[in-house]
Amino acid sequence: MHFKVNLTLISILVIVLYFNIPFYNNWLNTNLLSPSFDIFTLSKQTEIEQRKINRYGYSYAIYSEMGRIFKEAKMDSPVLLLPPDAFLKEQGVRDFATVEPAIYYYFTGMRGVWPNSPGVEKANAVIIPDGHGKVMLKRISGKDELNMILADLKKYKID
Amino acid sequence: MNLTGLLLVTIAQFLSGSGIVRLFRLQIGAIANICLSMIVGIFFISLAPAMLQLAHIPITGSNTAIAVAVITALCSIPLVVMFRKPNFSGFALPELYEIPFLLVFLAFFITSAFRCYYFPPTPRDVLAGGELLAEFTIREKTMLNSVFSIDLHTTNNHFKSPYITCLQVVYKLFVSPFGGVWLTAIFVPFTWWLYTILKERVHGLVACTLLLMYFCIPDAFAYSYIILYDYSNMIFYFTGFYFLMQYQTHQRRNDFAFSILLFGIATYIRVETLVLVSLAALMPAYTQFKAKQPIKDIIVNGLLLMAGPVFFYVLCMNIFIPNFVPVKMDTAAQINHNMSDISVFFTRISAINNDLILSDKGLLVYGYFFYYFIAILLADLVLIRKFNKEARMALYGIAVVYFGLALLGYLLPLFDVMNTTKRGLFKLLPLILMYYANSGIVTRISDFLKAREARSKQAAEPALAGTRPAPRPATKK
Residues 301-360 of B with CB under 8 A from A: none
Residue A20 sits in the same domain as residue A82: no
The domain in which residue A82 lies consists of 60-153
pLDDT value of residue A56: 93
Residues on chain A touching B449 (C-beta within 8 angstroms): 7
Nearest CA in chain B to A23: B367
Does B470 reside within a domain? Answer: no
Chains A, B: CB contacts under 8 A, how many?
120
Note whether residue B433 is domain-resident. Answer: yes
HEC letters along chain B: CCHHHHHHHHHHHHHHHHHHHHHCCCCCCHHHHHHHHHHHHHHHHHHHHHHHHHCCCCCCHHHHHHHHHHHHHHHHHHHHHCCCCCCCCCCCCCCHHHHHHHHHHHHHHHHHHHHHHHCCCCCHHHHCCHHHHHHHHHHHCCCCCHHHHCCCCCCCHHHCCCHHHHHHHHHHHHCCCCCCHHHHHHHHHHHHHHHHHHHHHCCHHHHHHHHHHHHCCHHHHHCCCCCCHHHHHHHHHHHHHHHHHHHHHHCCHHHHHHHHHHHHHHHHHCCCHHHHHHHHCHHHHHHHHHCCCCHHHHHHHHHHHHHHHHHHHHHHHHHHHHHHCCCCCCCHHHCCCCCCCCHHHHHHHHHHHHHHHCCHHHHHHHCCHHHHHHHHHHHHHHHHCCCCHHHHHHHHHHHHHHHHHHHHHHHCCCCCHHHHHHHHHHHHHHHHHHHHCCCHHHHHHHHHHHHHHHHHHHHHHHHHHHHCCCCCCCCCC
Question: What is the interface pTM, i.e. ipTM, of the complex?
Answer: 0.92
Interface test with B, best of A21, A105, A120 (most B CBs within 10 A): A105
Which chain A residues are closer than 8 Å to B110 by Cβ? 39
B209 shares a domain with B134: yes
Question: At what angle are helices B130-140 and B163-174 packed, to 10 degrees?
Answer: 50
Residues of A in contact with B209 (CB under 8 A): 14
List the 119-148 stretch of B: residues with Cβ below 8 A of A: 119-120, 122, 124, 127-129, 131-132, 135, 147
Spell out, as residue ranges, where chain B has pLDDT lower than 50: 476-477
Distance from CA of A39 to the nearest CA of B (A): 7
Beta carbons of B145 and B133 less than 8 angstroms apart: yes
C-alpha distance from B336 to closest chain A C-alpha (Å): 23
Residue A2: pLDDT band (50, 70, 90) is confident
Rounded-to-integer distance, Cα B457 and Cα B186, Å: 37
- Counting the structural domains of chain B, the total is 3
Q: Is residue B70 part of a domain?
A: yes
Give the DSSP H or E segment for A113.
Answer: strand A111-113
Which of B277, B308, B329 is the last residue before a domain boundary? Answer: B329
Co-location of B76 and B202 in the same domain: yes
The answer to whether residue B411 neighbours chain A at the CB level (below 8 Å) is no
Q: Does B367 touch chain A (CB under 8 A)?
A: yes
B134 and B248: one domain? no
Tally of structural domains, chain A: 2
In this structure, the answer to whether residues A90 and A136 fall within a common structural domain is: yes
- Say yes or no: B184 and B247 in one domain: no
Kindly state whether residues A81 and A127 are assigned to the same domain: yes
Touching A: B residues 430-469, CB under 8 Å: 449, 452-453, 456, 460
Residue B212 vs residue A38, higher pLDDT: B212
Domain that holds residue B318: 242-329
- How confident is residue A116, by pLDDT bands cut at 50, 70 and 90? very high
CB contact under 8 A, A103 and B128: yes
- Which helix (H) or strand (E) segment holds residue A26: the answer is helix A22-27
pLDDT of residue B477: 41
Residues A66 and A11 in one domain: no
Same domain for B217 and B109, yes or no, is yes
For B393, residues 6+ apart whose C-beta sits below 8 A from its C-beta are: B245, B248, B283
Percent of chain A topping pLDDT 70: 99
Mark whether A8 and A34 lie in a shared domain.
yes
Q: Is residue A144 part of a domain?
A: yes
**Residue type at A145 in one-letter notation:** E
Q: What is the distance in angstroms between the Cα of A141 and the nearest Cα belonging to chain B?
A: 22
Pair B110, A39: CB distance under 8 Å: yes
A74 lies in the same domain as A120: yes
**Per-residue pLDDT tens over the stretch B339-366:** 899 999 999 999 999 999 999 999 999 9
Residue-wise pLDDT for B67-111, tens only, equals 999 999 999 999 998 877 777 666 788 999 999 999 999 999 999
